[in-house]
Structure 1
Amino acid sequence: MSRENKTMYTLLGLLMYAPLTGYEIKKTIESSIKHFWQESYGQIYPTLKKLVELGFADFHIEKVDGKPDRKVYTITGVGKSQFINWLEKPIEKIPIHKNELLLKLFYGQHLDIRHNIAQVIQYKQKMEDILQSLNTTEHFLLTKRKEDPHFDYWMMTLSHGQCIVKATIQWCEESIRKLEEKQKG
């Protein structure tokens, strides 16, 4: 069975909100779903071309004074049907989460414990930064977008990210304690 192109559905979903350029799609991803989904320009532009070829999206050229023309994409009726059909499908599998820290800890017996502790501390700090970013997004949604019909769904995905990051921070604290105890011998 061939793998389904989730980038296609990511873009169709964003086009359900409004017509967008490739650049605007990337910026929207960075300001909304980046805590659980990312796409690069190298994925976005070829997929937009494919969406047009399949009849799932159209585009028009907008002239902008003193700037390059903008190619603005719009979802078609067929694209909307394709997107809704995908939304209705059950999730087939949970993706494997690649985590370099866990890979390094798996082989941690080959390093001095101090290096393992330092890596977990650094990872914890990165998680705390991510949590702060998620909390900032939560504040924005609660103060500026609470009346949006998508609000509850946005908050559910945000809450998932917050829960995962908080659990990871707790795991880091426990792992640091275990490593420090192991270091003391």
Structure 2
Amino acid sequence: MSLQYALLGFLNYQPMTGYELKQTMDVSTSNFWHAKQSQIYTTLKKMEGAGLVISQVEAQDGRPDRRVYEITDYGRAQLHTWLAEPLTELQPHKELLLLKLFFAVPLDKQTLLTQLRLQRDLHQRQAAIYRNETKAILQKLADSNPELEKDILLWEATRRFGEMFEEMNINWLDETITMIEAKF
């Protein structure tokens, strides 16, 4: 259900194809909300049936036709209602690394440390992306789109969350690696 609202949120900016929605999600919300292309198309079809969006097929020279989706007034009202609803509970979080670590006693120390160091490297790379690439994209958007000032402020908050989340993971992994090196 939340994918529906993510799609409405993007379509509230401008009409897009399913492919464009996927590309936009990949460069904007993927650190906290992502979807497969097939999920996007399935959800768009349901949304159109519910009157939240309309679509129009556009012919293209020498290329397949493309279907462009646009939010309806009803879709915009539903998005606003959803945005205004407070979250009154913490959202469940699944973390595969923690599940594996919880049951990792059968592994030898080196295998376990290798897996944890790999995860640390992955988190370090992702943190660098947030600090550099994602931050630069937002700055470029801010410089060229002053009308999006409030949007960019909130997008920066989500970028910073991603960066801080990666830093927390790196710190926890460093602490856990040190503990396992000393006591496992």
TM-score range, shorter chain: over 0.9
Consecutive unaligned residues in structure 2, runs of 5 or more = none
What do the CA deviations read for 1:19-38 (whole angstroms, capped 9, x no partner)? 00000000000011101100
SS at 1:90's partner residue? coil
- Runs (5+) with no aligned partner, structure 1: none
Q: Which moved more, 1:107-116 or 1:11-20?
A: 107-116
2:31 pairs with 28, 32, 35, which one? Answer: 35
**What residue in structure 2 maps to residue 6 of structure 1?**
2
- Are 1:137 and 2:134 an aligned pair? yes
Match status 1:61 vs 2:57? yes
3-state DSSP of counterpart to 1:109: coil
Share of identical aligned residues, percent?
34
Give the CA deviation at 1:110. 1.3
For 1:38, what is the secondary structure of its paired residue?
A: coil
The answer on 1:177 being equivalent to 2:173 is no
- Does the 8 Å CA contact 1:101/1:119 hold for their aligned counterparts? no
AA in 2 matched with 1:157: T
Aligned-residue offset at 1:94: 2.6
For residues 136 and 57 of structure 2, what CA distance do their matches in structure 1 show? 36
Distance in 2, matches of 1:104 and 1:46, equals 32
Partners of 2:13 and 2:28 lie apart in 1 by: 13
Contact 1:12 1:83 in 2 (8 A): yes
Give distance in 2, aligned partners of 1:50 and 1:93.
Answer: 27
Aligned to 1:106, which of 102, 105, 108?
102
Question: Structure 1 residues 23 and 169 mapped into 2: Cα distance closer, same or farther (>3 Å)?
Answer: same
Instruction: Please give the alpha-carbon distance, in whole angstroms, between the structure 1 residues aligned to 2:134 and 2:47.
Output: 30
Q: What one-letter code is carried by the residue in structure 1 that aligns with 2:16?
A: L
More off after superposition, 171-180 vs 97-106: 97-106
Of the three residues 3, 14, 21, the one matched with 1:25 is: 21
Q: TM-score, normalised by structure 1?
A: 0.92
Q: Runs (4+) of structure 1 moved beyond 4 Å?
A: none
